[in-house]
Structure 1
Amino acid sequence: MDEQLRRLLGAVAPTHDDRQSRMLDHGVAEGFPTVGPQVGGVLRLLARLTDATDVFEFGSGFGYSASWFARGMDGGRIVLTEYDDEELALAREFLDGAYGVDFVFESGDAMAAVGRYDGPFDVVLLDHEGARYAPALARVREKLEPGGVVVADNVTAGPVDAETLSVMLDTEEDPLVTRDEPWDVDTTTEGIASYLDLVRSDPALETVVLPAGEGVAVSVRVG
């Protein structure tokens, strides 16, 4: 990203509250990546714009992203999912009883956990393995009401090969999911490409990619 744009996005990003500052300190100390305040501001805004009362996260870590959703909500529920029981325990410690929101902590595979909820969800966050974004969307798509939003994190940077991703998405060939030729890329890049190809071709979804953080794809269900 252009350095001037990076500085501008950082300058207008919202500030942490005391709880989030402690969470960020933990993430930095442990080398645990977070969405950061740029993407956090997007999550808070989307929760507020949708009047969210039911949020589901595919991948929650120690609860940092959930804290941003909560700051944009007036009550309601956020379902956090995490494989690492120690991280989930930290999320409980940081969040339980905070923000006036009901936090539900699900240990294990988010793909299994989402099946235990009927929805409808107002906002869904995809922040687990990029190779599983498209299957996750398939699991949750019908649990979104019209106006519901799906946010996919890390779609332009991080483990993604951005140059290869652009080539894959610029092609005029058949959709990525039906291609026969192999792609010499890591599974995260191919997974993100498949996900972006899926949401841009779905007539029931409108999607934009925002340059906040490591890139977020925001899709709203319109049909």
Structure 2
Amino acid sequence: MQSPTVSNPVVLAPLNPAIEKYMRSLVSQTDHPVLAEMEAVAEKNNFPIVGRLVGVFLETLAKTVNAKRIFEFGSGYGYSAYWFAKAAGMDGRVICTDGDPLNKEQAERYLKSADLAQRVDFHVGIAQETFTQTEGIFDICYNDADKGDYPQIWRMAKDRIRPGGLYIAHNVLWHGRVALEHYVDIVPGWTEAILEHNSLIFNDPEFDAFINPTRDGVVVARKKEM
């Protein structure tokens, strides 16, 4: 773990709060009331959901590639799954993973309230193990698991995304730590893992990639159609 210096802040805000507030004002507030409940729970418990702006972004991306089969590495209590399930439609399927059975119970309750539960399969356990046990190719693989696992998850997911499909990962700017020479990590090694993860993606000739700095940075990598 590296130490901060006076000349370098511990973290950087990827997006100016005023800009984020303006962007939020443009987003529709007509989504199901359960969404506000999920956001209130996150704020109360300091639970790291992606938030409304990234949620809308995920839904838009999924609709753009007509995603019908989506795998989530790390689902919490179903906030990102809400957006993916909306986009996937009645014939779509979102496979969720989380290590906490209480999160599964919450997710199923929230998604049932939003009439989306039938589009979601929620597994309790290690995401990588569930992925290995799940057959087939995906339209989207979404990564919001423990940050130290990011390089491994990228390597696992990249070959099981269809041409034209997407790999998406949250927290890839890691509160600006990726841009700092000196920083204090939340968990030792996580910043280095994210830096490795990002480098692997942008140096992979099979993918086109871009980082949206909203929230805490969302990388979108599209598998090229050879």
* TM tier relative to shorter chain: 0.7 to 0.9
Moved over 6 A (4+): none
Partner of 1:143: 160
Deviations 1:118-159 (A, max 9, x none): 22111111101112111111112111100110111011134x
Offset of residue 102 of structure 1: 2.1
Correspondence list, 1:147-166, <5 A: 147-158=164-175, 161-164=177-180
Q: 1:106 aligns with which of 106, 119, 123?
A: 123
- Greater mean deviation of Cα atoms: 100-109 or 134-143: 100-109
CA distance in 1, matches of 2:28, 2:125: 31
Partner of 1:25: 40
Cα pair 2:174 2:191 within 8 Å, conserved: no
Cα pair 2:85 2:120 within 8 Å, conserved: no
Task: Indicate how the Cα distance of structure 1 residues 85 and 11 shifts in structure 2: closer, same or farther if over 3 A, else same.
Answer: same
CA distance in 1, matches of 2:154, 2:141: 9
Task: Please report the TM-score for the alignment, with normalisation by the length of structure 1.
Answer: 0.85
RMSD: 2.2
CA distance in 2, matches of 1:30, 1:8: 25
- Which amino acid in the other structure matches residue 108 of structure 2? R
Task: Please report the TM-score for the alignment, with normalisation by the length of structure 2.
Answer: 0.84
Cα pair 1:50 1:148 within 8 Å, conserved: yes
Unaligned runs of 5+ in 2: 1-14
Partner of 2:214: 212
Partner of 2:4: none
- Greater mean deviation of Cα atoms: 103-112 or 85-94: 85-94
Task: Indicate how the Cα distance of structure 1 residues 213 and 14 shifts in structure 2: closer, same or farther if over 3 A, else same.
Answer: farther
> Matched residue of 1:88: which SS?
helix
- Which amino acid in the other structure matches residue 57 of structure 2? V
> Does 1 or 2 have the higher relative contact order (CA < 8 Å, sep 6+)?
2
> Matched residue of 1:61: which SS?
coil
Partner of 2:16: 2
Unaligned runs of 5+ in 1: 169-182
The count of residues paired between Structure 1 and Structure 2 equals 206
- Which amino acid in the other structure matches residue 51 of structure 1? N
Deviations 1:21-72 (A, max 9, x none): 1211222222212100111011100110111110100000000000011122
Correspondence list, 1:33-112, <5 A: 33-75=48-90, 76-96=92-112, 98-99=115-116, 101-112=118-129
- Which amino acid in the other structure matches residue 204 of structure 1? E
> Matched residue of 1:52: which SS?
coil
> Matched residue of 2:97: which SS?
strand
Cα pair 1:63 1:95 within 8 Å, conserved: yes
Partner of 2:11: none
Offset of residue 14 of structure 1: 4.0
Deviations 1:146-191 (A, max 9, x none): 0110111011134x61333xx69xxxxxxxxxxxxxx996311111
Offset of residue 198 of structure 1: 0.2
